[in-house]
């Protein structure tokens, strides 16, 4: 491998080249990144009519002591369903107990905040407790009384856990005869990231990737199987108690929308920026994917699309409008008067082939261009092989091949037009029967693909792995970068593979040539960048050997200046294992992970990174 380290033969890569794509899939947000421990907290999972679906809430113990139903008496206009609980008799030993049966992680010594709304014509006395999954061991308890709750009354308490249970539950217990209504029951740990509501370990795992952008909130989640179930941003803002929530019918679960449009913008974006110390507004720019009037099964005709277009213009105004503007003032009222920096929006998801896509797209395109000329508008149509037949600033490219297919896709953009819109590879992953929950082989193929994107970063602007998260209790879409349960997590090899590309954002791609007997199984790139922590210049060579044979690699570097201020040295980092089908697990979370050692004699590796200081 010959590397030419002189600047003359080099090219700067985009500073947002590698980022992350968050989709509400596999309970990634509800029951995952969003740290709310209660599911269906407003009892609306059946929609805005009654009887509603109260799952996973249930009666514990003697069912004859309680009548539980739903009615439309809530004080919240956008979500009228409330739970009506009639306690049939005073009971001494046998309390009337109602419980949220969600897998919850409660940890000894940590504090949890419970909030709910209650109404009753009698004085209210409710015991709130956190118990183990069987209900026999109490981890924490608090008594709540409200002498006059004839109107809806908000109550809250802090619960300090005296024990640990990874599958615990929240119980509401009363012994007094009469009728009590409950609504909007929330339980959150206090130690979320910056108290912004994000589960700490999951958040950190994503932030560690130092993403250059965040694409949200989907994926198919944005489209819906039917338009009536597609995500609508206006329903996800405002006080959490007032959000109606919605049933994501593509991935088949209810979400209370605690992680809404504002949280994506404010918390995820800004927190990533702070954590990654990208102080000068470099990274994690938001990329909002919005519904374009098209779902998997129904579409709005272009002649009727204008209200949808207005909804999106309102969303942009909410995001980056003046705090005095109509929607900017709503954002300001939520606590963020400064506009967010939104420069990229995507018109729908994977809808290019649908009958109304082009018609609808143009309506969105023209309206957004007119109102916000600086916003980059992303089309769903692939322009990598043929030019687009409509105007766009970027086009999306999604790919989910098997490992061999992914490795050969390293050259996909080699022949793409060098003029016109650039590519946004917003979803890539090795996927299919043999990829399971992630293997070394898959990660190697993806690493080869990303090296190819580095080479083509004059026409590929951004790329993100998909999907990001999988909650072990909802394996709807396998394979995913980060796998978690209520208290553990691990990155699959593809997660660790992305570590090798963190410094590529904004780095300089050097010219390099690989000469090999079997060059089809090898791919390599070389970059330089300045490390902001030690202000030193680094040169990194990445090589993937996707073939079955050992390779002896000789690397020569021309034009590298070494002086006393910048002493030289090198390290080797390898992502490998004795078995290409190996993956990680909760028991062995870093079985396939990168490891670093000082270079001695490089003879063989699967994915090799050599760094020269
Ligand atoms: O990433 C999972 C799904 O794959 C996305 O929702 C969709 O865009 C694609 O088909």
Q: Is the pLDDT of residue 279 over 80?
A: no
Query: Are 375 and 232 members of one domain?
Result: yes
**36 contacts: CB under 8 Å, gap ≥ 6:** 30, 186, 187, 188, 197, 256, 258
Q: How many domains does the chain have?
A: 3
For residues 278-296, average pLDDT: 74
The atom of ligand 1 lying closest to the CA of 221 is 6
Tell me the residue range of the domain where 237 lies: 227-270+285-380
- Residue from 290, 294, 477 to probe ligand 1 pocket by mutation (most atoms less than 8 Å from CB): 477
Helix (H) or strand (E) holding 318: helix 306-320
Does the pLDDT of residue 94 top 50, yes or no?
no
> Could you tell which of 252, 351, 400 is best to mutate to test the pocket of ligand 1, judged by most ligand atoms within 8 Å of the CB?
400
Please check whether residue 329 lies inside any domain of the structure: yes
- Distance (angstroms) between ligand 1 centre and the Cα of 350 equals 8
Find the CATH number of the domain harbouring 583.
2.60.40.1180
Is the four-CA dihedral 44, 47, 50, 53 of positive or negative sign? Answer: negative
Residues 185, 292 within the same domain: no
ipTM: 0.99
From 347, 380, 413, the end of a domain falls on 380
Please indicate, yes or no, if residue 463 is contained in any of the structural domains. no
The answer on 351 and 237 residing in a single domain is: yes
CATH of the domain at 329: 3.20.20.80
Task: Give percent of the chain with pLDDT exceeding 70.
Answer: 89
Whether 221 is in a domain gets the answer no
For residues 81-93, give the mean pLDDT.
76
- Given a cut of 90, whether residue 477 has pLDDT beyond it is yes
pLDDT score at 283: 44
My answer on whether 182 and 68 are in the same domain is: yes
Task: Judge if 243 and 348 occupy the same domain.
Answer: yes
The last residue of a domain, from among 365, 380, 395:
380
Q: Is residue 209 part of a domain?
A: no
- Identify whether 416 is part of a domain: no
pLDDT at 99: 66
Whether 77 and 183 map to the same domain: the answer is yes
- pLDDT value, residue 276: 38
Average pLDDT for the chain: 88
Residue 467 CA, closest ligand 1 atom number: 1
Tell me, what CATH number does 134's domain have?
2.60.120.260
The pLDDT tens digits of the residues spanning 103-127 come to 589 999 999 999 999 999 999 999 9
Q: Note whether 173 and 70 are same-domain residues.
A: yes
Contact status, residue 117 vs residue 241, Cβ threshold 8 Å: yes
Is the previous residue joined to 51 through a cis bond, with omega within 30 degrees of 0?
yes
* pLDDT at residue number 273: 47
Check if 409 is active-site.
no
Where does the pLDDT of residue 100 fall: very low under 50, low under 70, confident under 90, or very high at 90 and above?
low
The answer to whether residues 234 and 325 belong to one domain is yes
Identify whether residues 65 and 179 lie together within a single domain: yes
* Residue 577 CA to ligand 1 centre (angstroms): 29
pTM > 0.80: yes or no: yes
pLDDT of 573 strictly over 50: yes
- pLDDT, position 610: 59
Question: Pairing relation of β-strands 482-484 and 489-491?
Answer: antiparallel
Which one is predicted more confidently, 161 or 613? 161
Tens of pLDDT, residues 485-495: 999 999 999 99
Assess whether 239 and 353 both reside in one domain: yes
For residues 607 and 447, the answer to whether their CB atoms sit within 8 Å is yes
Q: Say what the pLDDT of residue 257 is.
A: 95
Q: Which residues line ligand 1 (CB under 6 A)?
A: 23, 25, 218-220, 349-350, 398, 427, 466-467, 477
Among residues 346, 380, 414, the one where a domain terminates is: 380
Give the max Cα distance, the chain: 87
Q: 509 CB contacts (<8 Å, ≥6 apart)?
A: 10, 11, 12, 13, 454, 455, 457, 525, 526, 527
Q: What is the DSSP string of 439-491?
A: -HHHHHHHHHHHHHHHHTTTTEEEEEES--EEETT--SS---SEEE-SS-EEE
Q: What is the pLDDT of residue 184?
A: 96
Task: Decide if 487 is inside a domain.
Answer: no
Whether residue 352 lies inside any domain: the answer is yes
Q: What's the pLDDT at 284?
A: 67
Per the model's pLDDT, the better-predicted residue between 97 and 511 turns out to be 511
Per residue in 484-540, pLDDT tens? 999 999 999 999 999 999 999 999 999 999 998 766 799 999 999 998 888 888 899
Residue nearest to atom 6 of ligand 1 (CA): 219
Residue 439 lies in a domain: no
The neighbouring-strand residues paired with 19 are: 464
Please check whether residues 6 and 67 belong to one and the same domain: no
Other residues' Cβ atoms within 10 Å of the Cβ of residue 397: 22
What average pLDDT does this structure show over 79-86?
94
Let me know whether 231 and 158 are in one domain: no
User: Exposed e or buried b for every residue in 349-383, given b needs 16+ CB within 10 A?
Assistant: bbbbebebbbbbbebbbebbeeebeebbbbbbbbb
Q: Pick the catalytic residue: 36, 350, 454, 503?
A: 350
The better pLDDT of the pair 138, 566 is held by 138
Torsion over CA: 433, 438, 439, 444 (sign): positive
Residue with the bigger pLDDT between 328 and 276: it is 328
């Amino acid at each position: 491998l010959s590397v030419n380290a002189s600047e003359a033969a080099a090219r700067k890569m985009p500073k947002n080249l590698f980022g992350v794509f968050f989709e509400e899939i596999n309970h990634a947000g509800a029951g995952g990144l969003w740290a709310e421990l209660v599911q269906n907290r407003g009892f609306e999972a059946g929609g805005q009519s009654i009887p509603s679906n109260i799952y996973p809430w249930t009666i514990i113990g003697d069912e004859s002591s309680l009548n539980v139903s739903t009615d439309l008496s809530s004080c919240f206009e956008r979500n009228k369903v409330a739970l009506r609980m009639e306690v049939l008799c005073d009971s001494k030993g046998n309390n009337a107990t109602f419980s949220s049966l969600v897998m919850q992680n409660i940890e000894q010594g940590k504090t949890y905040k419970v909030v709910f709304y209650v109404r009753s014509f009698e004085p209210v006395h409710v015991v709130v407790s956190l118990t183990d999954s069987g209900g026999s061991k109490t981890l924490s308890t608090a008594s709540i009384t409200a002498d006059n709750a004839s109107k809806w009354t908000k109550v809250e308490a802090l619960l300090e856990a005296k024990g640990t249970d990874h599958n615990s539950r929240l119980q509401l217990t009363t012994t007094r005869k009469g009728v009590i209504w409950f609504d909007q029951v929330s339980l959150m740990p206090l130690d979320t990231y910056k108290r912004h509501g994000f589960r700490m370990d999951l958040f950190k795992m994503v932030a560690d990737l130092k993403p250059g952008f965040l694409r949200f909130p989907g994926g198919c989640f944005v489209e819906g199987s039917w338009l009536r179930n597609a995500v609508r941003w206006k329903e996800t803002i405002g006080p959490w108690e007032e959000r109606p929530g919605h049933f994501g019918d593509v991935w088949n679960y209810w979400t209370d929308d605690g992680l809404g449009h504002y949280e994506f913008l404010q918390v995820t974006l800004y927190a990533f920026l702070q954590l990654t110390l990208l102080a000068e507004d470099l990274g994690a720019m938001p990329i909002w994917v919005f519904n374009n009037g098209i779902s998997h099964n129904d579409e709005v005709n272009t002649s009727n699309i204008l209200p949808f277009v207005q909804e999106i213009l309102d969303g942009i105004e909410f995001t980056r409008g003046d705090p005095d503007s109509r929607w900017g003032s709503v954002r300001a009222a939520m606590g963020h008067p400064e506009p967010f920096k939104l420069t990229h929006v995507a018109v729908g998801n994977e809808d290019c082939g649908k009958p109304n896509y082009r018609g609808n797209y143009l309506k969105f395109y023209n309206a957004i261009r007119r109102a916000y000329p600086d916003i980059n508008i992303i089309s769903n149509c692939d322009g990598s092989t043929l030019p687009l037949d409509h105007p766009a600033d970027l086009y999306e490219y999604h790919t989910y091949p098997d490992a061999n297919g992914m490795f050969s896709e390293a050259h996909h953009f080699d022949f793409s037009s060098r003029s016109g819109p650039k590519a946004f590879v917003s979803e890539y992953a090795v996927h299919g029967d043999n990829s399971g929950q992630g293997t070394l082989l898959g990660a190697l193929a993806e690493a080869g693909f990303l090296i190819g994107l580095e080479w083509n970063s004059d026409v590929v602007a951004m790329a993100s792995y998909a999907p990001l998260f999988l909650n072990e209790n909802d394996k709807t879409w396998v394979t995913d970068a980060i796998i978690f349960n209520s208290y553990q997590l691990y990155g699959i090899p593809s997660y660790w593979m992305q570590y090798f590309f963190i410094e590529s954002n904004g780095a300089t791609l050097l010219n390099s040539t690989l000469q090999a007997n079997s060059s089809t199984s090898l791919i390599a790139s070389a970059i330089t960048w300045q490390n902001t922590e030690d202000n030193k210049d680094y040169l990194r060579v990445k090589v993937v050997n996707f073939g079955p044979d050992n390779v002896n690699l000789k690397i020569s570097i021309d034009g590298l200046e070494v002086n006393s201020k910048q002493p030289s040295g090198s390290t080797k980092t390898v992502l490998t294992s004795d078995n290409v089908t190996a993956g990680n697990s909760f028991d062995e979370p870093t079985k396939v992970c990168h490891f670093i050692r000082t270079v001695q004699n490089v003879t063989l590796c699967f994915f090799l990174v050599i760094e020269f200081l």
